[in-house]
């Protein structure tokens, strides 16, 4: 039995060395990945953010267009008497005719059109900020998920070290004839399970890195550095204050409010279409040297004769669009309040669970494992009990870090919902 035990011990030592080599190769040993660097890069490179900015900028150029008068019309022609010959300077009615005309809107139309376009531009500017905040929130969530995946890999390696101690104790007992081969096999099975879990975590890291690169605006497949651990900081704002802040600062609310103002101006523009516009035309007739030139000035007024099928339906359409925008504004407010309540409750729950896990992360649980391992070495307990202690440590630590990440993600969503900006670069671009 002594030879067989030594042979199994050598095989287990080789297996353990392979496990740690695998873990060391899989570990991300590069520098630190900082969240603010990713956010600043996204503000410069994210295609979605750039598209929203361009859309808002384009809307600003529509304001002067909406207030501009129609292009003036210029006409040049010739009037002849008879058809048989050219009669210029021979007949008094023969002349070269030149005219210019300009249409003028009914008073108030021009300003109202400018107001409608200006409010619409403000709405799109607020929408662009909403895109930025959503992008930042998504980057934060992916960043914290990536941190959790790396932290879980570290816990897997730590558990592998614990299992190595159990394996050594099982081999020692088996060599002395006081243990069973089943204990060694059970420990090795747990190691194989850790290998499988590590493989899944590596795949998750690659997936999160790809999503994070896409959100930032990177077109590359190079792996990212390891994220910096989040630091727990109290979140002092109460629920009522968060909801009030969202109503005041949320870019989604502001976008809807500006759209309501724009459509209100469009209703007034449609109502002004009942009134006619005026076109002023000036004519000049150039005659021959034997006749005196002529000029004339005239005005043309359009008559809204078909208002029942044109102006009136346009007013109703504008009013319906205004009602739609007001209801959408109310919907956004209700949705914001609901999302804030949900994330605030999640944040508080995570903090309470973290307090519970912190109580379990003290030295007692590790002392319990060391005591169980010592008892197993003396034959007072079985291997299953020791392995269960390792699983308990893993569950508590994984749950603690998982709740910390959920709390950080909830705070990221609350910042986006309430319109909070943490990036100086973002503030400069607004």
> How does DSSP assign 287-338, residue by residue?
--TTS--EEEEEEEE---TTTTTTHHHHHHHHHHHHHHHHHHHHHHHHHHHH
| pLDDT at residue 189 greater than cutoff 80 | no
What are 34-45's pLDDT values in tens digits? 999 999 999 999
Instruction: Say whether 5 sits in a helix, a strand or coil.
Output: helix
- The mean per-residue pLDDT over the stretch 126-143 comes to 95
| pLDDT at residue 205 greater than cutoff 50 | yes
Question: What is the rounded distance in angstroms from the CA atom of residue 55 to the CA atom of residue 138?
Answer: 21
Question: What is the rounded distance in angstroms from the CA atom of residue 254 to the CA atom of residue 332?
Answer: 10
pLDDT at 122: 95
Please give the residue that has the higher pLDDT: either 21 or 67.
Answer: 67
| pLDDT at residue 21 greater than cutoff 50 | no
Question: What is the rounded distance in angstroms from the CA atom of residue 33 to the CA atom of residue 166?
Answer: 35
pLDDT at 219: 78
> Closest by alpha carbon to 174, among 383, 332, 367?
383
pLDDT at 19: 43
Per-residue confidence band for 3, with pLDDT thresholds at 50, 70 and 90: very low
Per-residue confidence band for 181, with pLDDT thresholds at 50, 70 and 90: low
Question: What is the rounded distance in angstroms from the CA atom of residue 345 to the CA atom of residue 353?
Answer: 12
- The mean per-residue pLDDT over the stretch 374-390 comes to 70
Q: What element of type H or E holds 301?
A: strand 294-301
| pLDDT at residue 430 greater than cutoff 60 | no
Question: What is the rounded distance in angstroms from the CA atom of residue 240 to the CA atom of residue 341?
Answer: 9
- The mean per-residue pLDDT over the stretch 248-265 comes to 95
What are 310-323's pLDDT values in tens digits? 999 999 999 999 99
**Worst-scoring range by mean pLDDT, 274-283, 349-358, 373-382, 412-421?**
373-382
Residue 83 DSSP label: S
| CB-CB neighbours of 416 under 10 Å | 25
Q: Is 279 exposed, middle or buried (0-12, 13-18, 19+ CB in 10 A)?
A: middle
Q: Which residues contact 221 (CB under 8 A, 6 or more apart)?
A: 210, 213
Decide if 133 contacts 339 (C-beta within 8 A): no
Residue 158, phi then psi, degrees to nearest 5: -65, -40
What are 49-80's pLDDT values in tens digits? 999 999 999 999 999 999 999 999 999 999 99
Please give the residue that has the higher pLDDT: either 189 or 80.
Answer: 80
Note the helical H segments in 176-302. 181-216, 239-249, 251-272
Question: What is the rounded distance in angstroms from the CA atom of residue 414 to the CA atom of residue 420?
Answer: 8
Decide if 146 contacts 205 (C-beta within 8 A): yes
- The mean per-residue pLDDT over the stretch 280-290 comes to 91
- The mean per-residue pLDDT over the stretch 134-153 comes to 94
Per-residue confidence band for 18, with pLDDT thresholds at 50, 70 and 90: very low
| Sheet containing strand 278-286, strands side by side | 73-79, 95-104, 278-286, 294-301
CA 374 to chain centre: 52
pLDDT at 253: 95
pLDDT at 17: 43
- The mean per-residue pLDDT over the stretch 140-152 comes to 94
How confident is the prediction for the chain on average, in pLDDT?
A: 84
Decide if 409 contacts 140 (C-beta within 8 A): yes
- The mean per-residue pLDDT over the stretch 138-155 comes to 93
Decide if 8 contacts 180 (C-beta within 8 A): no
Please give the residue that has the higher pLDDT: either 166 or 228.
Answer: 228
Per-residue confidence band for 32, with pLDDT thresholds at 50, 70 and 90: confident
Question: What is the rounded distance in angstroms from the CA atom of residue 353 to the CA atom of residue 359?
Answer: 10
Q: Name the token pair of 222.
A: 């190079």
First vs last C-alpha separation in the chain: 77
Please give the residue that has the higher pLDDT: either 195 or 367.
Answer: 195
pLDDT at 218: 86
Please give the residue that has the higher pLDDT: either 357 or 338.
Answer: 338
- The mean per-residue pLDDT over the stretch 130-140 comes to 95
> Closest by alpha carbon to 97, among 281, 286, 282?
286
The CATH code that applies to domain 2-429 is 1.20.1600.10
pTM above 0.85, yes or no: no
Residue 167, phi then psi, degrees to nearest 5: -65, -45
What are 208-244's pLDDT values in tens digits? 999 999 999 887 777 888 999 888 888 888 999 999 9
pLDDT at 185: 67
Per-residue confidence band for 92, with pLDDT thresholds at 50, 70 and 90: confident
Please give the residue that has the higher pLDDT: either 141 or 388.
Answer: 141
């Amino acid at each position: 039995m002594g030879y067989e035990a030594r042979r199994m011990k050598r095989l287990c030592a080789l297996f353990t060395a392979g496990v740690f080599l695998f873990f060391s190769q899989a570990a991300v040993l590069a520098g630190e990945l900082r969240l603010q660097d990713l956010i600043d890069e996204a503000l410069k490179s994210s295609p979605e953010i750039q598209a929203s900015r361009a859309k808002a900028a384009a809307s600003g150029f529509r304001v002067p267009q909406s207030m501009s008068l129609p292009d003036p019309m210029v006409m040049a022609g010739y009037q002849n008497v008879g058809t048989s010959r050219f009669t210029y300077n021979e007949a008094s009615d023969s002349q070269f005719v030149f005219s210019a005309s300009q249409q003028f809107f009914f008073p108030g139309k021009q300003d109202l059109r400018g107001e409608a376009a200006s409010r619409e531009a403000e709405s799109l500017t607020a929408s662009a900020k909403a895109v930025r905040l959503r992008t930042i929130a998504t980057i934060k969530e992916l960043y914290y998920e990536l941190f959790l995946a790396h932290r879980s890999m570290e816990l897997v390696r730590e558990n592998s070290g614990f299992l190595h101690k159990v394996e050594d104790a099982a081999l020692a007992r088996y060599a002395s004839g006081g243990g069973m081969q089943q204990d060694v096999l059970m420990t090795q099975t747990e190691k194989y399970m850790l290998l499988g879990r590590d493989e899944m975590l590596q795949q998750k890291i690659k997936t999160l890195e790809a999503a994070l690169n896409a959100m930032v605006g990177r077109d590359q497949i190079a792996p990212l550095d390891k994220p910096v651990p989040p630091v727990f900081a109290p979140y002092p704002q109460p629920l009522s204050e968060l909801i009030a802040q969202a109503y005041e600062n949320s870019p989604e609310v502001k976008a809807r409010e500006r759209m309501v103002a724009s459509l209100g101006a469009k209703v007034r523009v449609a109502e002004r279409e009942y009134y006619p516009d005026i076109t002023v035309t000036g004519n000049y007739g150039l005659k021959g040297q034997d006749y005196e030139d002529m000029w004339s000035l005239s005005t043309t007024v359009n008559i809204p004769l078909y208002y029942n099928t044109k102006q009136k339906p346009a007013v109703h359409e504008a009013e319906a669009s205004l009602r739609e925008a007001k209801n959408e504004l109310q919907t956004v407010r209700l949705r914001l309040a609901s999302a804030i309540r949900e994330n605030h409750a999640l944040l508080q729950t995570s903090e309470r669970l973290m307090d519970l896990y912190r109580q379990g992360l003290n030295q007692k649980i590790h002392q319990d494992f060391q005591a169980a391992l010592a008892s197993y070495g003396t034959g007072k307990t079985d291997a299953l009990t020791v392995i269960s202690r390792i699983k308990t440590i893993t569950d508590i630590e994984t749950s603690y870090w998982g709740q910390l990440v959920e709390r950080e993600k909830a705070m990221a969503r609350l910042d986006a919902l309430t319109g909070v900006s943490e990036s100086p670069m973002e503030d400069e671009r607004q």
